Chain A
């Protein structure tokens, strides 16, 4: 057992969050109402003692006894031609939510937001959402076609796209179903699963407006774009031409290198502020049209169910949202004293204007420190100084964006939209810190 210094002040969130038994039950009984009762209902008695630090020696052995790495020759260059995270970070990975989907190819893996810093998501930790598996595409055989209401339908090779004038921009990418499990009730314990269909990258590519201009877009009739993938699903989504001409990109670069295959290598659409499903991966075609297409993922899914049974179709924009990523669900505060409460805020309609934090479940709010740069349709990191003396605390964050829109509470959101929508849940998140330091996902009201 290590010294107190080893233990740190914050215990990490658990590796996974459901026992094998519970996963099996969920897989047998499905994820809908069955799962909810299951999770609500059963109360197991198990408690786990937390490691108690051993008696501290006067001198820190990690200082006094020089460790092996201080007394040996290190490894050579190019030991890893492509650099890897430290083996001590092996727990910081994307994780699939057990029982959420029935197959691994039409499924989701979530970004470990609780362990990340700043405003960029490492490419290898970018969440995944595929509908028909992911593919490895030979870039020499990939083409982009532009057709529909244009003067000349065109074909581009990757080489030609890479030769065109490019732009690089930092944007968030959030799945429309992020936080979707939480509409009905508390369903998952950690921020990885409540908010981890969220990431941000610097994307590099060619403005869609330039490509449409090159093809001779019919400005009189054009109103929408269809984006289509080259994978088996050939995912299609209708894109608002207004967005496309404003700031959409046909991107090949992500955080300074080519896109990762799971994120659409060699080419994907980037539609800042719009939900992830519209950022079509493995992009092979853009068609200019005058009417929306009602594709499968805008007619059977990604439609937001309202209390009267109506579905809102073509909901696309990700409205302003924020979440505290640490301390967050599943973590444990091991010591009293100072904590920098930190999290992320973003808005699909502009920039983050301000972030406020409440430590009493929304009764009182105080401003958080917003870290720059604050960029449009990007993640913005915030921090809030907090001294914890062991009192039970309900932590919340609330963002207001550059349009003046303030993030709604859960009660405000479900008051209008009910609880059965699945999509576009941007409610204020509450984390309860118990007097034992344990942090849990809770819902007020």
Chain B
């Protein structure tokens, strides 16, 4: 199912807003706030949309990307973006040619497979935007535009989406986005975007002799025992002090 068939859905949910009434501006309030200068807007307006509005020009290749990666990213994400130490793996090399062909990552249906960033993200703009604004995590906004192009190229290369000699630039980024392995994996067909949206699940309103299946319940023993042990430590008092029970003796 291709969920980017925008027609009806977008007309319905993304098109109506501007007709709503905005608050009138009381007299005198127009003196509060001043026009932003162009330089100020450029300094802060760094977002890049999926249609690449906002993307600064530049380029970077896989090799440059690897160099920056090893110097500035690998300590947290691993040499190949596969580390699970600081954050979930970004890439694990489990994307197939078939996925790139169909734009749906098949392994997402397998709950045993670790879900990586590259398996999920449908838009390349997301990676460019996020790396530029927030990475490296401990020194955000320190990368140059070209470094970001290189890093995105390197991540795509780790996921077998592009070859080793690939150069990513503002002129081929849209074509490259069209190779994203999970580009068709997102859906906007749901009622959770708008307050007026239609719920997909509704509870029963039964009040007497309702069907509750076999009535069995799942109750993990390990947690139960931890509770008992630690309640002992907290003691049964209303407040935190004093501890009335000596847990060590139990």
Contact = CB atoms under 8 A, between A and B. Distances in A.
B15 to A, nearest CB: 6
B230 A17 contact: yes
Contacts of B191: 317
A299 B186 CA distance: 8
Interface in A329-352: 329-330, 332, 334, 348-349
A417 interface: yes
Interface stretch (A55-63, A68-76, A223-231, A378-386): A223-231
A209 interface: yes
B8 interface: no
Contacts of A289: 49
B193 A314 contact: yes
Interface string A17-60: 11100100000001011000011111111111111000000000
B231 A90 contact: no
A47 B224 CA distance: 9
Nearest to B235: A51
B13 to A, nearest CB: 8
A43 B221 contact: yes
Contact of A312 (B192, B203, B223, B235): B192
A139 interface: no
Nearest to A329: B227
B187 A310 contact: yes
Contacts of A189: 223-224, 226-227
Interface in A142-168: 145-147, 152-156, 160-161, 163-165
A16 interface: yes
B181 interface: no
Interface residues of B, number: 118
Contacts of A131: 134
Interface stretch (B57-65, B103-111, B154-162, B168-176): B103-111
A213 interface: yes
A154 B33 contact: yes
B56 interface: no
A86 B232 CA distance: 22
B63 to A, nearest CB: 25
B236 A7 contact: yes
Interface stretch (B67-75, B112-120, B143-151): B112-120
A234 interface: yes
Contacts of A441: 223
Given A14-B230, A189-B226, A363-B212, A87 B241 contact: yes
B85 to A, nearest CB: 7
A171 interface: no
A232 interface: yes
Size category, A interface: 35 or more
Contact of B117 (A293, A300, A308, A400): A300
B53 to A, nearest CB: 8
A309 B238 contact: no
A243 B219 contact: no
A362 B203 CA distance: 12
Interface string B192-220: 11111101111111111110111111111
Interface string B1-40: 1010000000001111111111111100110111110001
Contacts of A242: 16-17, 20, 194-196
A371 B13 CA distance: 34
B165 interface: no
Contacts of A364: 207-210
Contacts, number: 402
A405 interface: yes
Given A213-B25, A287-B45, A306 B187 contact: yes
Contact of B187 (A185, A313, A411): A313
Contact of A46 (B220, B228, B238): B228
B199 to A, nearest CB: 6
Nearest to A439: B227
A116 interface: no
Contact of A316 (B133, B193, B231): B193
B203 A145 contact: no
A49 B44 CA distance: 60
Contacts of B215: 361, 444
Contacts of B188: 312-314
A440 B227 contact: yes
B226 A152 contact: no
Contact of A155 (B36, B185, B209, B221): B36
A241 B250 CA distance: 59
Contact of B234 (A12, A217, A400, A432): A12
A391 interface: no
Nearest to B30: A214
Interface in A377-420: 394, 398, 400, 405-409, 411-413, 415-417, 420
B190 to A, nearest CB: 5
Given A212-B22, A310-B1, A17 B219 contact: no
Given A51-B235, A295-B129, 9 more contacts: A209-B23, A210-B29, A224-B17, A294-B122, A313-B3, A362-B212, A363-B212, A420-B111, A440-B227
16 contacts: A11-B236, A44-B221, A45-B225, A51-B245, A91-B234, A91-B239, A106-B87, A189-B226, A223-B14, A241-B18, A242-B16, A291-B49, A291-B51, A309-B108, A364-B208, A438-B224
